[in-house]
Each structure stands twice: as C-alpha cells, then as structure tokens.
Amino acid sequence: MKNDHTPPGGPGLTRRGFLTTMGAGAIGVAASEQVLAAGAEAAAPGLMPANRTFKISLRINGRAHPVLVEPRWTLLFVLREVVGLTGTKPGCERGECGACTVLIDGIPRYACMTLAVEAKGREITTLEGLLQGEALGPVQSAFAEKDAFQCGYCTPGQIMAAEGLLRANPDPSLEEIRRGVSGNLCRCGAYRHIFDAVRHAAELKAGK
C-alpha cells in the first residue's frame, strides 16, 4: 500500500522527514551566515557599521569641528546639515555638475562623492573659507566684477574650482582655465564670463 505521507519527489522519504531536512538546512544556512559575518568583521576590523554615528573631527576653513557622523554620510551632507556651512550647494549629487566642489588639501573635490569620514584629518576649504574677514576673496571678487554668473547656483562650485586651479597654477592660460573648470557645469552658459573672471582673479592674486 502506498504511504500517504510520501512526497511526490521520490519514494522512501516521508513528509515529516522532508520537513525535518528542510528545517535543518535553514538552520545550517543561518549559522553559516553568522560565521561568514563574524569572519568578515574579523578580517576588516576597521569597517564602521552602518546606521551608527561616530565622533570625528573635521578641519574646515582652518577650524576643527567635532561632529557625529554615520559612515554613509557624504561630506556635502555634513557640511550643510551638520556644520551649517551652506555655501556648498547640492546639485546632481552624483559627481557630474560640480556645484558641490570644495578643496581638500588644496585640491578641488566633489563633496557629494566624498564620504565625511574620508575627509578626517584633511584640510577642507569651502566657499566661506575664501572670505577675508568680511570682505570677498580675490576669486569671489573677480566673479562679481566680471559678472560671471546668471542664476548663480553653480557659482560656489565654479569659484572653488577656480581657487584650486590658481593655487596650483597662479598664471594659467585660457586653455588651462578651460580645463581647470571643465568639471563644473553652468546651465546658464556663462562660460565666457567665467573664464574672464578666473583670468582676473589670477591678476588680483598677483597684486596687479
């Protein structure tokens, strides 16, 4: 007589046996996942768990800022929402427009593509850091004098890219200026004025 509890998959294995086997397999998978997770954590002890905050110090515009951050937070988010420096603008937030450009150790970087924890121990300069007291810095002044903006949204990033260029090359040619700000998009198309502003900023920095 056929066993009513025999599953269609094959004779000799009862339904109870089948369920017992599946339960044991699930337990084994769960246990192996725990072992793998423990192994990964042991292999990379420096990794920060997500969704937990850690206290780090960011040096921004010459001042140390102790902040609590999650490891997934971008420098853009921390600058604006934690430190309160809103001169750095969010644009595409995927490294294409350059609106969020800041200087890290003097080099232009997209803040939206940089984790805050990556910037620990580095010198971060934002648009606010270019001010000379209450006065505009040379690059900021040059952009105002040469009318190098229309809507102005991309301007902070353009200024930071220009500042980075002039720190590396105080007397750039027009082609070098074009390359230096090529990572920053202006949807208004004010590029000619931007190039003029960078050239004028170089003159202002040189004291001409």
Q: Are 128 and 192 a contacting pair, CB within 8 Å?
A: no
Residue 128 in contact with residue 87, Cβ under 8 Å? Answer: yes
Query: pLDDT band at residue 52, thresholds of 50, 70 and 90?
Result: confident
The CATH number of whichever domain residue 65 belongs to comes to: 3.10.20.30
Give the other-Cβ count within 10 Å of 84's Cβ: 9
Task: Give the range of the structural domain holding residue 87, as residue numbers without chain letter.
Answer: 49-126
Verify that 142 and 121 share a domain, yes or no.
no
DSSP-derived letter for residue 93 is: S
CATH classification at residue 200: 1.10.150.120
Within this chain, do residues 118 and 141 fall inside the same structural domain, yes or no? no
* Strand stretches in the chain, DSSP E: 54-60, 63-69, 101-104, 107-110, 123-125
Do 118 and 184 lie in one domain? The reply is: no
d(CA 75, CA 95): 13
For 28, the 3-state DSSP assignment is helix
Q: List all residues 6 or more positions away from 181 whose beta carbon is below 8 Å from its beta carbon.
A: 158, 161, 162, 165, 194, 195, 198
For position 43, what pLDDT does the model report? 39
State the pTM of this model. 0.76
Confidence band of 157 (pLDDT split at 50, 70, 90): very high
